[in-house]
Structure 1
Amino acid sequence: MTTKPQLNFWQIWNMCFGFMGIQFGFALQNSNVSRIFQTLGADYSNMAILWIAAPITGLIVQPIIGYFSDNTWNRLGRRKPYFLFGAIAASLSLFIMPNSPTLWVAAGMLWIMDASINVSMEPFRAFVGDMLPRKQRAMGYAMQSFFIAVASVVASSLPWMMANWFDISNIAEPGILPDTVKFSFYAGGVIFFLAVLWTIYSTKEYSPEQLQAFQDAEAQTQSEESFVPRTAKKYFTGGATWLLLGLVSFAIVALNVEQLDKSLFILAGGFCFFAICQLVAGLMAKNNSHNGFAQVMSDLFSMPQTMKQLAFVQFFSWFPFFAMWTYTTAAVTEFHFGSSDVTSAAFNEGADWVGVLFSAYNLTSVFAAICIPIVVKYFNLRIAHMINLFLGGAGFISFLFIKDPTLLIVSMIGIGFAWASILSVPYAILANALPAKKMGLYMGIFNFFIVLPQILAASILGFLITKVFDNQPVYALAVGGASMVLAGILTLRVKEPEY
């Protein structure tokens, strides 16, 4: 039997280099879209609803792309066709987004841009499993984390750099984005495409026959969990339960919409959507139908045990980041810079400082990625992850107590350690627990537990800010901190696979 060969450092570097471009797009999106929305007239009450495009897009796109990329082989390869076409669409979106004339055009462009980025990104996670033997997968994900951090540092700071280093205008007429933001997105579009193109050019994928030979060899040294298909009866029972919950939730929100918040309809809609998915899957199981949707639903309910345990950790780890991406600009400009007027110099100074803060946590994650293996050496992956999540939780909560915006750099250091850990440790544990032939699909399904907390955050954070926290968005970050501490505690439940 043929064993998968180890790759050298530069081969892994080239294989992961495209992720730098992908993260360049995500970082520009995460650090500037709230600013774009506010400039075009959005307020706190609808900010989360506008942002919901990003997680919903990932929820739908990633498992689909994972399934199809598992079953693709053509002249470009297995994963590379999705790298290329996603990069083309994402780069075009980055050019269009900062020129959106209205709020709803910008919201629509967020859907398109996020979908395009996800098309490129999802196969990159499975790419590590395809190309590297088990002993090198942790290094592969660490390399991806390195490129994520580098790209995020540069991309998040671009508006600030253009204003302070290149003397580009940072102020514009009401409803128009300043040139610093526009030029940053243009640069991001070019870098995204060229970085992905480099990986496509420099890395040759294994053929299906080669991958099958590697899988056969690995099957001699490991055992896979047995998967029992979910029955139609269980699908129907689960679907009916979730549908009832969704309808009751809709009724409660509709009858009390003035006391509650319209964004809670998102949560009720999510319950109904999950119910419908189960009912459709039940019909397919009853009729013995086999397609991509049926496969995704079956594997969702048949996840390996380690993946199930990691799912809870991921859920509560990612809730805080959606809160940060959505509300940090509003929180810092209002709480720390004292202005919510998007045309004022104070607001734009605060918004630029948010970009620097985002760069700070990403820069920290570069050094954290070096420290994590040292901590793992003395403890283990789970304890290292728990420590980093606790640091991140403390960083989020500290926004409430730090008044000087300069000192928020300290908060971002803790968040940076958590970010580095979230991007590498769960994948290092997960990759060796997955069946090789379904690496792309399961990586797409694992994304559910990144996306679902973001949908929950979009559903409830607007309500919490307006109805509970007296329109003070800084409390969204504190709630996120509590969630991250809980995620740290839940790491103790995760069982690492043994090989």
Structure 2
Amino acid sequence: MEKRKLNFWQIWNMSFGFLGIQFGFALQGGFMSRIFQTLGAEVDDIPGLWIAAPLTGLLVQPIIGYLSDNTWSPKFGRRKPYFLIGAILASITLFIMPHSPALWIAAGLLWVLDSSINISMEPFRALVADKLPESQRSNGFVVQTLIIGIGTWIASNLPWLVNKMGISNEASAGVVPPSVVVAFSIGAFVFITSIIYTLVTTKEDPPENLEEFLSEKKESRFISDLFASLKDMPSTMKKLGLIQFFSWFAFFTMWSLSMPALTEHVFNAPKPDVKEYAQLNAEGEVLKDDKKETIFLSLEKEEVYKAKDKVYNDAADLVGSSTGVYGLSSMAFALLLSFYTMKNKINRKLIHMASLILGGLGFIYMFFATPSTLMYSFILIGFSWGSILSMPYAMLSSSVNPKKMGMMMGLFNMFIVIPQIIAALGGINFLYKLIGSEHINAMLLAGISLIIAGLCNLFITDKNAISG
């Protein structure tokens, strides 16, 4: 039975929860490395600290996709229970995260945060395929991207904005600045309220044949269904997986290393190493007094450290704001596509290829950027981000069994998290140092990876996937 078409605002309402999800992702992606550096992490150790994020996605998303495929309640729906559970856990973690007293606690909370966001996010992808007919799938994923762009821009600017409102971006050594703490608290509030908005305004449709659904549910087993889905993975999904591999390697590189790379290279304001200014014990650890405050070598050393740290925090706020520009340009990209796809078909393959190549050029331009021109890099990156969040899913949803949409979306996530795991386990550090030892070379690596991803679109040949 053909699903009925929805109007723009119905699609908007069912996708609005992505605003909160993206607040969580943008704060995580834009400022976790800043928190790690504040708590004493070395730059080359940061990608390894990020490994929690892709590992949780690898484990959580196929399970949540499977569970949501096999859930139906006349009262609570199919995907909505997972939206709410993930939102509650993520909001609590966002509130606690910037209060982390130690590096290992922040890394552990990142694990919880990413798991919680994944619990909410994956069912949202499946909901588009559940509720929209094939002719509206591109439009549905593009509206999600529009909302994600809004969330990225606002959340990335939050620390800068609250600082401008009078909340300090300075703190003692090893303490996260108040402006970042307040930004994460706002993110927690937005996450839960936007999810609740979607829960209230969107009604899920029951399975087309409820008796058949309940019968299949009784017979389903996760492990056997998992291996069957892997075996039946369509070739288009595998080809999209290759594109996703290089795309997400690039963006993981940006999230983990853009803050130290850009504060150093573009703003000439690296994070000062407190060990150069403080008293150390025999193991080389910073000494602290009874109030847990750093004991400096002298008052002069303390003043020099604080001055340099102030310059770094100002630069970090500006990097965060510049990063938010990719949310704005992805929003503009999505808005244009949204209006166009309401009445017209598009060539998803060519749009995705061009967008990824433009994003790759944006990363490469970072090497030449100044504080006033850095935004142009992120404008180009925004085109690729907008496409990454819509075109692969639109192509995928035209290629898989709709009864297993949640499971297949979860398995598709493997092509997102595996490159991130490889990057976190040393892939970034090894490859960017082949270009040069400066951290900005990690951004050149991201650009090369994204251009390769764009060219891999040439392997896509399925007409149903390409046109939509």
Distance in structure 1 (CA, Å) of the matches to 2:463 and 2:432: 44
Cα 1:461–1:337 shift into 2, 3 Å: farther
Q: Deviations over 1:62-86 (max 9, x none)?
A: 0000001000112311101100111
Which residue matches 1:317?
247
Say which is worse superposed, 339-348 or 428-437, in terms of deviation: 339-348
Distance in structure 1 (CA, Å) of the matches to 2:448 and 2:123: 32
Which residue matches 2:348?
381
Tell whether the 8 Å contact from 2:39 to 2:174 is kept in structure 1 after alignment. yes
Q: Deviations over 1:207-226 (max 9, x none)?
A: 13457899xxxxxxxxxxxx
Q: How do 1:53-452 and structure 2 match up within 5 A?
A: 53-74=52-73, 75-164=75-164, 166-209=165-208, 291-342=221-272, 344-372=309-337, 380-402=347-369, 404-452=370-418
Cα 1:49–1:375 shift into 2, 3 Å: same
Tell whether the 8 Å contact from 1:372 to 1:384 is kept in structure 2 after alignment. no
Distance in structure 1 (CA, Å) of the matches to 2:339 and 2:116: 36
Distance in structure 2 (CA, Å) of the matches to 1:158 and 1:40: 21
Which residue matches 2:425?
459
Say which is worse superposed, 173-182 or 334-343, in terms of deviation: 334-343
Q: Deviations over 1:397-422 (max 9, x none)?
A: 111222x1221111111101111111
Letter in 1 for 2:354: I
Distance in structure 2 (CA, Å) of the matches to 1:27 and 1:180: 15
Cα 1:290–1:428 shift into 2, 3 Å: closer
1:427 offset after TM fit, Å?
1.3
Say which is worse superposed, 381-390 or 60-69, in terms of deviation: 381-390
Which residue matches 1:488?
454
Distance in structure 2 (CA, Å) of the matches to 1:379 and 1:81: 34
SS at match of 2:415: helix
Distance in structure 2 (CA, Å) of the matches to 1:62 and 1:307: 16
Extract unaligned runs of 5+ from structure 1: 215-288
Which residue matches 1:43?
42
Distance in structure 1 (CA, Å) of the matches to 2:81 and 2:460: 35
1:425 offset after TM fit, Å?
1.1
Distance in structure 2 (CA, Å) of the matches to 1:209 and 1:364: 38
1:495 offset after TM fit, Å?
2.1
Q: Deviations over 1:29-49 (max 9, x none)?
A: 110100000000001221111
RMSD (Å), alpha carbons: 2.2
Distance in structure 1 (CA, Å) of the matches to 2:431 and 2:163: 32
Say which is worse superposed, 291-300 or 181-190, in terms of deviation: 291-300
Cα 1:375–1:413 shift into 2, 3 Å: farther
1:497 offset after TM fit, Å?
4.2
Distance in structure 2 (CA, Å) of the matches to 1:442 and 1:465: 31
Cα 1:197–1:425 shift into 2, 3 Å: same
Distance in structure 1 (CA, Å) of the matches to 2:432 and 2:380: 28
Distance in structure 1 (CA, Å) of the matches to 2:71 and 2:113: 24
1:293 offset after TM fit, Å?
2.6
Identity of aligned residues (%): 48
TM-score by length of 2: 0.86
Q: How do 1:7-22 and structure 2 match up within 5 A?
A: 7-22=6-21
Say which is worse superposed, 120-129 or 371-380, in terms of deviation: 371-380
Distance in structure 2 (CA, Å) of the matches to 1:336 and 1:456: 27
Which residue matches 2:443?
477
1:462 offset after TM fit, Å?
5.1
TM-score by length of 1: 0.81
SS at match of 1:208: coil
1:338 offset after TM fit, Å?
1.9
Letter in 1 for 2:137: R
Cα 1:462–1:446 shift into 2, 3 Å: closer
**Number of residue-to-residue matches in the alignment:** 422
Distance in structure 2 (CA, Å) of the matches to 1:211 and 1:406: 58
Tell whether the 8 Å contact from 1:465 to 1:471 is kept in structure 2 after alignment. no
Q: How do 1:21-32 and structure 2 match up within 5 A?
A: 21-32=20-31
Letter in 2 for 1:369: A
Letter in 2 for 1:163: N
SS at match of 1:120: helix
1:341 offset after TM fit, Å?
2.7
Distance in structure 2 (CA, Å) of the matches to 1:466 and 1:7: 46
Cα 1:66–1:379 shift into 2, 3 Å: closer
Tell whether the 8 Å contact from 1:160 to 1:353 is kept in structure 2 after alignment. yes
SS at match of 1:421: helix
Distance in structure 2 (CA, Å) of the matches to 1:449 and 1:160: 34
